[in-house]
Structure 1
């Protein structure tokens, strides 16, 4: 009995010694494979082997990727758990000292996605044109040299680093060609000997070109975009060292938002030709050097709505070539403000005329030949008439100063001078004066705040409140501001 107890103690001591040695220096391999050889991988501290069983780590309910809970902080970097039923997506996560990072299997990739590290990653060119596969996103990684053109085919090309992810076209044609638009984002576009764009939508329904967060630089020409029925949208674009700019022709909607044209560009930056529904230039800047033009609208024949807002035009070159029609609203540093709110008009008498009074207390338009000056969104189709030609209802101050005298003898005659809108006297504008005799020349001032709708017109009228004596306006100056 004593011998057996001693043997048990000896065996237990040996087991504890083996375990201690294993903990201090050994490797551990667990297996339920009876045919397996106990031989742990030389680089592993722990190895699991089973032909039909998996490894089940701790399952916890993580509440946030930024919180250690439900584990107790601090958590050692590298801690691995499987989050199940928490407030974040189920799956494997490891702690990187500051937050939980999901483990994404390498086999999970996007559909309809191509990573482009060289020109060979694009579809094969046919006739010198690479036609992108419809519905596919192409991500540019690094500098891609191209001798063939690209038909965007309504696809998306993106980069992650605008400075280093580049498409460089080495030919003399254009980098982007064809009738379809697409999306370009976070890439640099260069066509040293050619154009960046030569896209003609040709009326294809709803095709659009969207270019965002890109550099377009060191190109012979930025090129031409025309015939697009959808949107042409350039946002947060830097143009640098381009020999010639871009021409937009017969596009439905053109938006240039946050676009910067550096002084290193030459010739004409933006040219608009033909018919447009909308042109919007918002923010950004145009720094125009001597001999160059920032904006050319001389060829723009029709537009429904145009606006230039919060944009800076500077430089020693021609900032704008052409004139803005009433369909434009311009409010930009370096340009004259042009919008309905600042519409103005002025006219004055150059040849006085007799206003024949037929009936007492019946107002008539003052006669005489007038000349108009400083008209902006006003016209003067007839003497003593200013017609508002803007598009929006405008609140105006109408001011008229004149001198007048009556004829036919007599004395102490009363006359009332008024502003007439569309041939109707405005009662609030009436000013009544007394002329002592027919040699008396009295100064009269008439003013009123009124609202004018498109094509409304104003005139100055007079009535004799005493008799039928005629009156002559010797001077008259009418202003609308």
Structure 2
């Protein structure tokens, strides 16, 4: 009997290996022809291995090499409990249906338009699948509208107004946006604390990108490309505008990015602006800014024979971009020299006084010269400067010792002192001053002199002061 049983088991195992199919559960003799393993039950479930996953990029607690397609249920780890499969390099969560997600395969998957406006349902994500043609405008209402493939998931607006309208912002990602006769944006957030996020999108053949105004939070645009648009985008009275790695191709026309009104922060980082005169292209228009706390244009390439910037970068800006002059507090400086010598009256021996004379200031950047023999720093950040001064001086008497100084805000800097002995009235003594000085905005420097031996007056014949 025992021998017969062993033979039966061997036959079953041989049959299993031969047919390479296993059925577990109800109706064990009926198996789908395409299945390697089939489970069937009306009152039992499938229970996979349960492990505690703590990192998407680590296969632990599994050991050795984990094969692609390995399926586990994470329970008790730092990752959210649920099913995960290993794709060869990381764990991928098995997606579950969400009640706040709408797959948009036609315009009818959006809410019905009212008075020409489709108002999205707050808290819902709308995923664009394919090309969706719109005759009505969209009120984002704080929602996310995204595609999965920016080249093939498209919103096409056929009207003459704007694709996105109203006083609500949202999140737009991974799509192509097209408005041949109208604009993409006409959003006025009313200075409320909203954010507008635009990422990984193409803007193609639009009459205008439009206007985003009065956003009380941040307008964030990243990894966006613009092709064949007639007019660009206008930002007006937005709190913060951050633009990272955007491309304006040579096929665009007129003004690309325009800023009007008051802003807290404007940051333009990375990307390219290809502007050509044949398209009357202006890459950046800042002429309408009335107030700005901090601005930055860095690591951007400006290329072409069009206009790169309309307007002037004021003190709050820091500019380091290919095609533009570097403008930041770190390169503030200038020169000043005497054009008409005037006798400096020494009232009291041993008391320094400011040197007199008519001076001219040149090559000033974030410096002004509001008075003779004065350079005032007008940058926005406190910084250290190197000051150099060369001068010659005469006096009417004999054997007099004079000390010369750099003065900051009317106070001499002792470390800058240089002494010279003038022997007679024909002796024109040369002096060189050098020191470092830290200046805050509105601080100023001058050159002063002190007679150490008498109250004899002195005349500075030549002087050249440089600060960098």
Into which bin does the TM-score normalised by the smaller protein fall?
0.7 to 0.9
CA contact (8 A) 1:60 1:86 kept: no
Instruction: Call closer, same or farther: CA 1:465–1:217 in 2, change over 3 Å.
Output: same
CA contact (8 A) 2:399 2:421 kept: yes
Partner of 1:379: 368
SS at the partner of 1:316?
coil
State the Cα deviation string for residues 411-434 of structure 1 (Å, max 9, x = none): 222211111111111111111111
Q: Return the alpha-carbon distance in structure 2 between the equivalents of residues 31 and 357 of structure 1.
A: 112
Corresponding position: 1:354 with 2:346: no
Aligned with residue 114 of structure 1, among 102, 115, 127: 102
Instruction: Call closer, same or farther: CA 1:218–1:369 in 2, change over 3 Å.
Output: same
Corresponding position: 1:405 with 2:360: no
SS at the partner of 1:120?
helix
CA contact (8 A) 1:82 1:90 kept: no
Q: Return the alpha-carbon distance in structure 2 between the equivalents of residues 97 and 148 of structure 1.
A: 45
Instruction: Call closer, same or farther: CA 1:40–1:355 in 2, change over 3 Å.
Output: closer
Cα RMSD, aligned residues only:
3.7
Gap runs ≥5 in structure 2: none
Q: Return the alpha-carbon distance in structure 2 between the equivalents of residues 59 and 165 of structure 1.
A: 37
Partner of 1:456: 443
The offset of 1:288, in angstroms, is: 1.1
Q: How does 1:437-448 map to 2 (within 5 A)?
A: 437-448=424-435
Is 177-186 or 281-290 further displaced after alignment?
281-290
Instruction: Call closer, same or farther: CA 1:183–1:443 in 2, change over 3 Å.
Output: same
CA contact (8 A) 2:165 2:185 kept: yes
Partner of 1:340: 329
CA contact (8 A) 2:177 2:204 kept: yes
SS at the partner of 2:373?
coil
Is 433-442 or 251-260 further displaced after alignment?
433-442
The offset of 1:43, in angstroms, is: 5.3
State the Cα deviation string for residues 345-401 of structure 1 (Å, max 9, x = none): 221122211111222121111111112211111111111011111121111111111
**Greater Rg over alpha carbons, structure:** 1
Instruction: Call closer, same or farther: CA 1:148–1:404 in 2, change over 3 Å.
Output: same
Gap runs ≥5 in structure 1: 1-7
Aligned with residue 126 of structure 1, among 89, 96, 114: 114
Report the count of equivalent residues. 454
Partner of 1:307: 296
SS at the partner of 1:258?
strand
Q: TM-score, normalised by structure 1?
A: 0.84
Q: How does 1:18-417 map to 2 (within 5 A)?
A: 40=30, 53-55=42-44, 60-61=49-50, 108-203=96-191, 205-290=192-277, 291-407=280-396, 410-417=397-404
Structure 1 stretches of 4+ moved >6 Å: 18-25, 27-33, 44-50, 63-75, 84-104
Q: TM-score, normalised by structure 2?
A: 0.86
CA contact (8 A) 1:83 1:89 kept: no
The offset of 1:466, in angstroms, is: 2.3
Instruction: Call closer, same or farther: CA 1:413–1:192 in 2, change over 3 Å.
Output: same
